[in-house]
């Protein structure tokens, strides 16, 4: 799986921006320990665009800013530095089966926090959370009001419940034969230009008719429910490099500026914008990996550092591989109603 992220300079979000839509218009296209926004490719035959309070763009094809996209001599032509997939987990509502990842879902191990600190590890532990909450409520007088200026309730299409969302929102867009023909033509056109991969944009990857649909998707990402799934990309038809060009090309019509994952690659200066999500435990010591994205371990719920995150799925997972999305706008409303003290803690500098 490959992952890419974008930034919108005018977004009102709690997350750090990464991939941004260039404006004049305002229609353009989240917690892990990974670097910010990226283009990543994975094994899953679906494409997803996601956006939970910030914008999480899981997409079968995605967008990135013109920056150097590195190639390698290995079986993966475009290599980028580590990044994470969009939100995996569930709560309070969940959307299942939006995209498949190339890893079997297994329980992530629980690791306690540093010595002397609360036992809050990267992987959540519900029993520990309940005990810690009970102790705080017994020993402390918790704030019952929100910080000054914070709304009592957020109102937006981004406030949705996964249990009922399908009743009023169809998050799938299936590519038509005409769409696929345009994409194929755009791939041929870009290759004919003999330009670098960092030059992929709306002009070098033209989509005369599909462009309007992708702009509508961009609007939905920013101003609607915050995510979209694009289905039907014929990934088996193309080489790995061809799929990456299509990925970046289609995404450039959703959000035009790429977010940088890192400033070096293999020890050399580079603008890293693409990351691969792949199990490498057979070729690398698992103890030295440190990131679930490169193993078959389950990803806990997290928010990637990017306004828009895209995932390109290259195949179906043999086992597991479900992905989940949630909306932090819903989270905010729940916390504002039940635990305003936690919002105060999160709002502290």
DSSP assignment of 37-56 = --EEEES-SEEEEE-SSS--
Surface-to-core class of residue 117, CB atoms within 10 Å of its CB (0-12 exposed, 13-18 middle, 19+ buried): exposed
Peptide bond just before 34 cis, omega within 30 deg: no
Measured distance CA(29)–CA(308) in Å, rounded: 6
Place of tokens 């691969």: 276
Would the pTM of this model clear 0.85, i.e. be above it?
A: no
Measured distance CA(12)–CA(18) in Å, rounded: 13
Per-residue pLDDT of the chain (349 residues; tens, 9 = 90+): 656 655 433 332 222 223 334 333 322 222 233 322 233 333 332 233 322 322 334 433 333 223 323 322 233 333 332 222 333 332 323 332 222 222 222 334 445 556 777 778 778 889 998 998 999 899 999 999 999 999 999 999 999 999 999 999 999 999 999 999 999 999 999 999 999 999 999 999 999 999 999 999 999 999 999 999 999 999 999 999 999 999 999 999 999 988 887 788 888 998 888 888 888 888 888 777 777 778 888 888 887 777 888 999 888 878 887 888 889 899 999 999 999 999 999 999 8
Measured distance CA(186)–CA(283) in Å, rounded: 36
CB 42 within 8 A of CB 29: no
H or E element at residue 270? strand 268-272
How many Cβ atoms from other residues are within 10 Å of residue 226's Cβ? Answer: 27
**How large is the C-alpha radius of gyration of the chain?**
20
Task: Give phi and psi for 345, each to the nearest 5.
Answer: -65, -45
Closest to 158 measured CA to CA, from 255, 15, 23: 15
- Grouping H, G, I as helix, E, B as strand and the rest as coil, residue 243 is helix
């Amino acid at each position: 799986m490959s992952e890419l992220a974008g930034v919108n300079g005018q977004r009102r979000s709690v997350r750090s921006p990464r991939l941004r839509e260039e404006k004049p218009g305002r229609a353009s296209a989240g917690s892990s320990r990974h670097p910010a926004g990226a283009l990543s490719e994975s094994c899953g035959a679906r494409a997803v665009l996601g956006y939970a309070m910030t914008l999480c763009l899981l997409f079968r094809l995605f967008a990135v800013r013109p920056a150097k996209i590195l190639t390698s001599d290995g079986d993966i032509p475009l290599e980028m530095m580590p990044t994470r997939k969009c939100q995996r987990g569930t709560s309070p509502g969940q959307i299942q089966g939006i995209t498949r990842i190339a890893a079997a879902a297994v329980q992530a191990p629980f690791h306690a926090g540093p010595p002397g600190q609360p036992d809050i590890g990267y992987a959540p532990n519900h029993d520990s959370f309940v005990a810690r909450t009970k102790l705080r409520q017994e020993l402390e007088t918790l704030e019952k009001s929100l910080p000054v200026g914070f709304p009592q309730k957020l109102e937006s299409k981004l406030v949705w419940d996964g249990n009922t969302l399908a009743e009023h929102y169809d998050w799938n867009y299936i590519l038509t034969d005409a769409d696929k023909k345009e994409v194929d033509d755009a791939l041929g056109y870009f290759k004919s230009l003999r330009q670098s991969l960092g030059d992929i944009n709306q002009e070098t990857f033209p989509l005369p008719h599909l462009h309007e649909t992708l702009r509508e998707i961009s609007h939905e990402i920013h101003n609607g429910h915050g995510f979209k799934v694009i289905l039907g990309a014929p990934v088996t038809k193309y080489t790995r490099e061809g799929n990456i060009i299509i990925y970046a090309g289609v995404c450039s019509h959703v959000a035009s500026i790429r977010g940088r994952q890192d400033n070096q690659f293999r020890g050399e200066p580079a603008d890293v914008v693409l990351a691969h999500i792949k199990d490498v435990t057979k070729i690398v010591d698992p103890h030295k990996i440190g990131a679930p994205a490169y193993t078959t371990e389950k990803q806990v719920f997290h928010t990637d550092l990017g306004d828009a995150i895209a995932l390109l799925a290259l195949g179906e997972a043999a086992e597991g591989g479900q992905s989940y999305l949630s909306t932090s706008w819903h989270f905010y409303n729940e916390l504002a109603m039940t635990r305003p003290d936690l919002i105060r803690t999160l709002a502290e500098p």
